[in-house]
């Protein structure tokens, strides 16, 4: 059962289980500090395909298939596949769903898609609307550059606050019962637009949405930052992270009582990799959560975490027509598997 808590949050009475998860990344992400948490690190970012778009889709197909394998299941056992990505017409997800041949719910939440998908999959499971559901998302540095910015080989100088789109995909298989990390609650965010118009400064566009969703989550569930061992935002990177910290201070949210991090700042090595402010893209929060963070929950190193995937709902066309960049963020609260949660009462 699910209960609507407060204005925009779901609290799951019987917490859905993440039976398995899988992550596949490109060579550049493989040189980052989280490389050992990923299932596959490809040494060719084209993965043998003849276009970047086809490569992006392949990453998602691989991640989904590995998640199925890990759970020892076949795709016909799954009720629904919930996926989305950054491409126009969410091409990568739809074509991956064509390959996977599962009933498919296409989502668009830009880089917030990972937690939007996980929240909805958990909701479907908790209401009995699905027995098993899979959610996945992907992004590719070269497809994002091509669609949102300039050709990959174009020699333009990126400002120090620009972000680097993560190449990779992450998928998670959610079920009603079983062993694995549990989904305790979710908060669906509002679209927040603070008037940022610089397409390179995505962190600044998304930070207010992240803060809004986190504050709403605390209010709806009646908890504070100290309820969680770790709170991570999706891909605010250095600039957005600083702004979010400023906004938390302004709203007097005691974030010092927990650890607050950002996936966009965890995935790359700033000293060795030229990524300006940090990582971004749908895959950023997906691979960090489904790889690194779930591993920490499974090992009991973390007990309760809040993952807040952040998305810039940017359209190059709208920007050229003098519009600003709206941001959105969705939060999902995750817990360590039952036997680890009960150990210390």
Site residues (vs other proteins, CB under 8 A): 50-53, 146, 150-161, 193-197, 201, 204, 208, 238-239, 242-243, 246, 274, 277, 322
Output the smallest distance, CB 195 to other proteins, in A.
4
Kindly give the pairing relationship between strand 132-139 and strand 168-175. Answer: antiparallel
Q: Closer to other proteins at the Cβ: 150 or 343?
A: 150
Give the three-class secondary structure for 7.
coil
Closer residue to other proteins, CB minimum distance, 160 or 345: 160
Residue placing its CB nearer to other proteins in the complex, 193 or 229: 193
Q: Please report how close the Cβ of residue 160 comes to other proteins at its closest, in angstroms.
A: 4
Identify which of residues 133 and 243 has a Cβ nearer to other proteins in the complex. Answer: 243
Indicate the residue among 1 and 274 with the shorter CB distance to other proteins: 274
By beta-carbon proximity to other proteins, the closer residue of 32 and 208 is 208
CB nearer other proteins, residue 322 or residue 342: 322
CB of 295 to other proteins, least distance (A): 32
Scored b (16 or more CB within 10 A) or e, 104-136 reads: bbebbbbbbbbbbbbbbbbbbbbeeebebbbbb
In angstroms, rounded to a whole number, what is the distance separating the alpha carbons of residues 204 and 63?
A: 30
Q: Enter the DSSP assignment of 296.
A: H
Write down the least CB distance from residue 192 to other proteins, Å: 10
Closer residue to other proteins in complex, CB, 74/156: 156
CB of 176 to other proteins, least distance (A): 42
The least distance separating other proteins from the CB of residue 46, rounded to whole angstroms, comes to 11
CB of 201 to other proteins, least distance (A): 6
Dihedral through CA 82, CA 88, CA 89, CA 90, nearest 10? -10
Minimum distance of other proteins from residue 269's CB (angstroms): 17
Q: Are 293 and 332 in contact (CB under 8 A)?
A: no
């Amino acid at each position: 059962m699910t209960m609507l808590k407060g204005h925009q949050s779901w609290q799951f009475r019987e917490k859905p289980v993440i039976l398995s998860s899988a992550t596949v990344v490109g060579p550049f992400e493989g040189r980052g500090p989280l490389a050992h948490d990923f299932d596959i690190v490809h040494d060719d970012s084209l993965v043998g395909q003849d276009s970047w778009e086809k490569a992006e889709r392949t990453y998602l197909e691989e991640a989904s298939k590995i998640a199925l394998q890990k759970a020892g299941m076949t795709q016909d056992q799954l009720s629904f596949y919930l996926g989305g990505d950054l491409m126009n017409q969410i091409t990568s997800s739809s074509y991956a769903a064509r390959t996977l041949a599962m009933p498919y719910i296409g989502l668009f939440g830009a880089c917030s898609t990972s937690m939007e998908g996980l929240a909805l999959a958990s909701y479907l499971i908790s209401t009995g609307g699905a027995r098993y559901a899979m959610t996945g998302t992907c992004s590719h540095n070269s497809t994002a550059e091509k669609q949102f910015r300039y050709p990959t080989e174009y020699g333009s100088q990126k400002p120090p606050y620009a972000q680097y789109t993560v190449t990779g995909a992450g998928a998670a298989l959610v079920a009603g019962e079983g062993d694995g990390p549990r989904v305790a609650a979710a908060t669906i965010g509002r679209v927040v637009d603070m008037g940022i118009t610089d397409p390179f400064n995505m962190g600044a566009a998304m930070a207010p949405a992240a803060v809004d969703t986190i504050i709403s989550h605390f209010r709806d569930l009646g908890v504070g930052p100290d309820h969680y061992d770790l709170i991570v935002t999706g891909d605010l990177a250095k600039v957005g992270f600083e702004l979010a910290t400023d906004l938390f201070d302004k709203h007097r949210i005691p974030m010092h009582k927990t650890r607050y991090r950002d996936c966009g700042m965890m995935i790359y090595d700033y000293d060795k990799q030229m990524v300006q402010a940090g990582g971004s893209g749908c895959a950023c929060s997906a691979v960090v959560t489904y790889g690194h963070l779930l591993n920490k929950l499974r090992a009991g190193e973390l007990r309760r975490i809040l993952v807040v995937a952040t998305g810039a709902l940017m359209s190059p066309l709208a920007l050229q027509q003098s519009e600003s960049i709206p941001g959105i963020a969705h939060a999902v609260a995750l817990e360590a598997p039952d036997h680890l949660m009960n150990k210390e009462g």
